[in-house]
């Protein structure tokens, strides 16, 4: 039942729109004519997001009509809207009309219109979302192996959705971040209450989905009993929550309505195990409604009811031989033998004369017969009526239930953060607007979980406002460059989600956006070459990043020839580092060792490499990031590790030697004494 709307304008409107669409990944989009004619938009929706597009009617999007539709639909959220929200209201109005026509059901649970603007959340583009594997892995598109997989220990479906939305929308305001992370901290500190809360939410059903079905009128008896079961867990949750003094948790305690009245009503009316269908009876609990009970009694003991009547008639008339029988011709009848003819009451209607007696019917008998024959139909109809009335009554309380469901969802997501923090040894980051990123013993939250044979080696990070803004990271393939850079990005993201982070200590100056350019993209399906994709992504980054952004640039220029690639890499690096152009915090991994020279000429840059140790002809990866450029690339050693035939390895060495001699240089630049010392010391 959530309705959110936003509008974009200005130079980068399209980019913002695409990012927002990417975040929601809609199944279906309803477009007005102008949007429909925007080929780029439709291609993006169709090809990138696999989303269906519908063309809405132009008049449905007309400002007056849209406003009127929205006014009729929403009770809150339309007051005090800024001028630019008009477009959002129009879109919403057109969409509502489309929904009225296609859904053909009640939409009265959509009561609140929420207009939001950028600035509240960190915008993440599709590339960053994918590269950082926030909710699914790049290759397998699976949750396992993603950040969500590590962080999501929620117990309820609504908690799961809430946590996912936090993951996709990290915060920007330090106050908002602190509010969330102090709630997490309070939960971390009180193990007993946290575990109680978690136990209390385990198995708690999807109240949001259930209330949706109830409002739509598609909920059955089982949905109501599920809702009741969920609601019955609420008092305990409220009790546990009320034990915390943290501000957000206190607010949640207040927002959580235990809904006893509603669960009580369901318990009274609906039996414990109602059938799947609502039109077959057996839904209403015995004792809830007299008429239902009476009809059920008739149904269960049709014969018994007739026997009761027979006994009653015998007594009333004093006719000892009076019998109630049944035949196909006129149904139930009362038979009186000739000896008692005189005692037959006037109300008896003669139907048939036999040799030794007569058969009668009475109005009462016919009524009862009718009841027996129709009881089944009527009890089903009545039960449905009672059920529908209850369902409607619950639907009228949808707002209360939704609000409580949201409180449960948030509590669940917060507990998940807390629980993950405790079990994975995360720390609470200090978050501010210092513009500094300082991490001690940081780890990659996912890689540390999936490493089987080895321990994850923690690494420190420092990126300042002025000093060490740009880190040029070198080191052989497989050394751990990409892992390290993603780790920094993920720690910053997690901090801005309000989560604890995998580190001993972290001080995170809020970044406005995180951009990534990592590895070969899988966008080949869209028909672009790898290099073209790479350059498009780099170009997007350089256009959109600000000095408050964090850039992760991994092996820029790899997709083209060495000299082209190096030239582009160098120019990009200069552009990022220079305060006059961008001056953003940048982690720049490169296999062009020549670029390490830039440390001396480009202010704010600093060289790092990931240490390896030589042992004879082999190398050992130490996974430690240390200051200075790598001394050489160790390509041949890595190839050997990968199992290249010994003959090929030896031959490669000879060729390398020849090349180096020919050029009069060692084929890698920037060997420094200091590196050598630090390497040997390890």
Q: Choose, by CB under 6 A, the member of 391, 481, 517, 570 that binds ligand ADP.
A: 481
Stretch that binds ligand ADP, among 116-124, 204-212, 448-456, 573-581 (CB under 6 A): 448-456
For 434, which DSSP code? S
What does the DSSP assignment read for 295-351?
Answer: HHHHHHTHHHHHHHHHHHHHHHH--TT-EEEEETTTEEEEEEEGGGGGG--TT-EEE
| Nearer to ligand ADP (CB atom), residue 451 or residue 648 | 451
| Nearer to ligand ADP (CB atom), residue 419 or residue 483 | 483
CA distance 424 to 504: 11
Residue 625: what are its φ and ψ, rounded to 5°? Answer: -85, 130
Stretch that binds Mg ion, among 394-402, 404-412, 464-472, 479-487 (CB under 5 A): 479-487
Structure tokens at 300: 């269960």
For 405, which DSSP code? H
Stretch that binds ligand ADP, among 153-161, 304-312, 330-338, 472-480 (CB under 6 A): 472-480
Q: Choose, by CB under 6 A, the member of 6, 135, 416, 483 that binds ligand ADP.
A: 483
Taking residue 322's Cβ as centre, other Cβ atoms within 10 Å add up to: 22
Taking residue 567's Cβ as centre, other Cβ atoms within 10 Å add up to: 14
| Nearer to ligand ADP (CB atom), residue 297 or residue 449 | 449
Q: Which long-range contacts (CB under 8 A, 24 or more apart) does 289-298 make?
A: 289/382, 289/386, 291/382, 292/379, 292/382, 292/383, 292/386, 295/371, 295/375, 295/378, 295/379, 295/382, 296/375, 296/379, 298/371, 298/372, 298/375
613 to 297, 346, 620, 679: CA distances (angstroms) = 87, 116, 5, 7
Stretch that binds ligand ADP, among 186-194, 318-326, 479-487, 530-538 (CB under 6 A): 479-487
Verify binding: residue 482, Mg ion, rule CB under 5 A.
yes
Verify binding: residue 478, ligand ADP, rule CB under 6 A.
yes
Structure tokens at 595: 């670029």
Number of residues that bind ligand ADP (CB under 6 A): 14
| Chain position carrying tokens 């546990």 | 240
| Nearer to ligand ADP (CB atom), residue 313 or residue 637 | 637
Torsion over CA of 584, 590, 596 and 597, rounded to 10 degrees? -90
CB of 567 to ligand ADP, least distance (A): 22
Q: Which residue is nearest to Mg ion (CB)?
A: 482
| Nearer to Mg ion (CB atom), residue 482 or residue 605 | 482
Q: Which residue is nearest to ligand ADP (CB)?
A: 480
| Nearer to Mg ion (CB atom), residue 73 or residue 482 | 482
Task: Please answer whether residues 335 and 323 qualify as being in contact, where contact means their C-beta atoms are separated by less than 8 angstroms.
Answer: yes
Q: Which of residues 174-213 bind Mg ion (CB under 5 A)?
A: none
**From the list ligand ADP, Mg ion, none, which binds 499 (C-beta under 5 to 8 Å, kind-based)?**
none
Verify binding: residue 447, ligand ADP, rule CB under 6 A.
yes
CA distance 517 to 549: 14
**From the list ligand ADP, Mg ion, none, which binds 480 (C-beta under 5 to 8 Å, kind-based)?**
ligand ADP
CA distance 519 to 497: 26
| Nearer to ligand ADP (CB atom), residue 121 or residue 456 | 456
Structure tokens at 55: 């063309």
Stretch that binds ligand ADP, among 95-103, 194-202, 320-328, 474-482 (CB under 6 A): 474-482
Please list, in sequence order, all residues whose beta carbon lies within 8 angstroms of the beta carbon of residue 43, skipping any fewer than 6 positions away. Answer: none
Q: Choose, by CB under 6 A, the member of 115, 166, 244, 456 that binds ligand ADP.
A: 456
Q: Would you give the binding string for ligand ADP spanning residues 616-645, x where CB under 6 A is met?
A: -------x----------------------
CB of 610 to Mg ion, least distance (A): 10
Verify binding: residue 482, ligand ADP, rule CB under 6 A.
yes
Residues that bind ligand ADP (CB under 6 A): 447, 451, 454, 456-457, 475, 477-483, 623
Residues that bind Mg ion (CB under 5 A): 482
């Amino acid at each position: 039942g959530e309705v959110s709307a936003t509008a974009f304008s200005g130079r980068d409107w399209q980019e913002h729109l695409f990012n927002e669409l990417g975040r929601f990944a809609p199944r279906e989009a309803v477009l007005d004519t102008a949007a429909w004619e925007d080929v780029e938009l439709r291609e993006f929706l169709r090809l990138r997001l696999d989303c269906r597009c519908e063309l809405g009617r132009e008049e449905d999007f007309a400002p007056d009509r849209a406003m009127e539709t929205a006014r009729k639909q929403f009770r809150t959220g339309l007051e005090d809207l800024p001028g630019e929200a008009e477009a959002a209201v129009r879109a919403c109005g057109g969409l509502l009309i489309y929904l009225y026509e296609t859904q053909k059901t009640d939409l009265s649970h959509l009561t609140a219109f929420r207009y939001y603007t950028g600035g509240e959340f960190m915008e993440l583009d599709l590339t960053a979302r994918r590269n950082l594997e926030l909710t699914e892995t790049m290759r397998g598109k699976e949750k396992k192996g993603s950040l969500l997989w590590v962080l999501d220990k929620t117990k309820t479906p609504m908690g799961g959705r809430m946590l996912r939305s936090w993951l996709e929308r990290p915060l920007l305001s330090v106050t908002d971040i602190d509010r969330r992370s102090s709630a997490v901290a309070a939960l971390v500190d009180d193990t007993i209450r946290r575990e109680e809360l978690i136990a209390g939410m385990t198995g708690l059903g999807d109240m949001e989905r259930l209330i949706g079905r109830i409002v739509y009128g598609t909920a059955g008896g089982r949905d109501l009993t599920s809702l009741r079961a969920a609601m019955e867990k609420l008092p305990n949750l409220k009790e546990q929550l009320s034990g915390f003094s943290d501000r957000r948790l206190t607010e949640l305690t207040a927002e959580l309505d235990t809904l006893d009245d509603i669960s009580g009503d369901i318990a009274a009316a609906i039996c414990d195990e109602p059938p799947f269908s609502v039109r077959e009876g057996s839904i209403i609990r015995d004792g809830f409604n007299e008429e239902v009970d009476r009809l059920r009694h008739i149904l269960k003991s049709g014969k018994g009811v007739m026997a009761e009547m027979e006994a009653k008639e015998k007594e009333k008339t004093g006719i000892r031989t009076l019998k109630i029988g049944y035949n196909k011709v006129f149904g139930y009848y009362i038979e009186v033998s000739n000896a008692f003819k005189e005692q037959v009451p006037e109300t008896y209607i003669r139907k048939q004369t036999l040799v030794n007696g007569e058969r009668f019917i009475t109005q009462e008998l016919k009524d009862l017969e009718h009841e027996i024959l129709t009881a089944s139909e009527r009890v089903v109809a009545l039960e449905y009526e009672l059920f529908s009335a209850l369902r409607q009554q619950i639907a009228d309380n949808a707002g209360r239930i939704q609000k409580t469901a949201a409180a449960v969802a948030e509590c669940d997501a917060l507990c998940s953060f807390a629980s993950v923090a405790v079990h994975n040894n995360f720390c609470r980051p200090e978050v501010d607007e210092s513009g500094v990123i300082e991490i001690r013993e940081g780890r990659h939250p996912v890689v540390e979980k999936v490493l089987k044979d080895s321990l994850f080696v923690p690494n420190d990070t420092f990126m300042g406002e002025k000093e060490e803004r740009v880190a040029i990271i070198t080191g052989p393939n497989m050394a751990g460059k990409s892992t390290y850079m993603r780790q920094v990005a993920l720690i910053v993201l997690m901090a801005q989600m309000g989560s604890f982070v995998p580190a001993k200590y972290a001080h995170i100056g809020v970044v406005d956006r995180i951009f990534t350019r990592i590895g070969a993209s899988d966008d080949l399906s869209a028909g672009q070459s790898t290099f073209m994709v790479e350059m498009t992504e780099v170009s997007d980054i350089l256009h959109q990043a600000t000095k408050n952004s964090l850039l992760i640039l991994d092996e820029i220029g790899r997709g083209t020839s060495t000299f082209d690639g190096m030239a582009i890499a160098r120019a990009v690096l200069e552009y990022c580092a220079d305060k006059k152009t961008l001056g953003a915090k940048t982690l720049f991994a490169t296999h062009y060792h020549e670029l390490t020279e830039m440390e001396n000429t480009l202010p704010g840059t600093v060289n790092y490499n990931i240490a390896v140790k030589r042992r004879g002809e082999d190398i050992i990866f130490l996974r430690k990031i240390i200051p200075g450029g790598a001394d050489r690339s160790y390509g041949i050693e890595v190839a050997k590790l990968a199992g290249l035939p010994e003959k090929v390895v030896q031959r490669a060495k000879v060729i390398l030697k020849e090349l180096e001699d020919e050029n009069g240089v060692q084929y890698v630049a920037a060997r420094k004494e200091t590196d050598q010392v630090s390497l040997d010391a390890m």
